[in-house]
Amino acid sequence: MSVFEEHHDELEHYETMMGPWRGRLAVSLDLLTNALVLVGQHGVYCHSVREPDKPAMDVQLVQKELAKAKQLIQSVMEGLRSERESERS
């Protein structure tokens, strides 16, 4: 499932309030905040590695949240670039 499907309601809310590009940045910041919280929990609750060939579950979740934020930020950058190019034409 893509970030756009998974966070449809949040994106719709922020995009309505702030516009599409700023709204996506707002959701990106929320996702990054979630990742920071997960990393903080790692230091408190995770004291052992259960599967040595895989990262700890919370690290996997952090990677997933960061990947989603990256996808949103990339879409904003592409959108802003597209707007800039259409203004030049």
Domains of the chain, by residue range, sit at 3-82
Rounded CA-CA distance 66/43 in Å is 18
Please state, for a pLDDT cut of 70, what percent of the chain lies above it. 88
Contact (Cβ atoms closer than 8 angstroms) between residue 27 and residue 14 = yes
Q: Identify residue 3 by its one-letter amino acid code.
A: V
Mean pLDDT of the region 14-23: 90
Residue 48 reports pLDDT greater than 60: no
Residue 49 reports pLDDT greater than 70: no
Rounded CA-CA distance 3/17 in Å is 19
Mean pLDDT of the region 2-14: 95
Mean pLDDT computed over every residue of the chain: 84
Rounded CA-CA distance 54/12 in Å is 35
Residue 62 reports pLDDT greater than 90: no
CA quadruple 42, 43, 44, 46: dihedral sign: positive
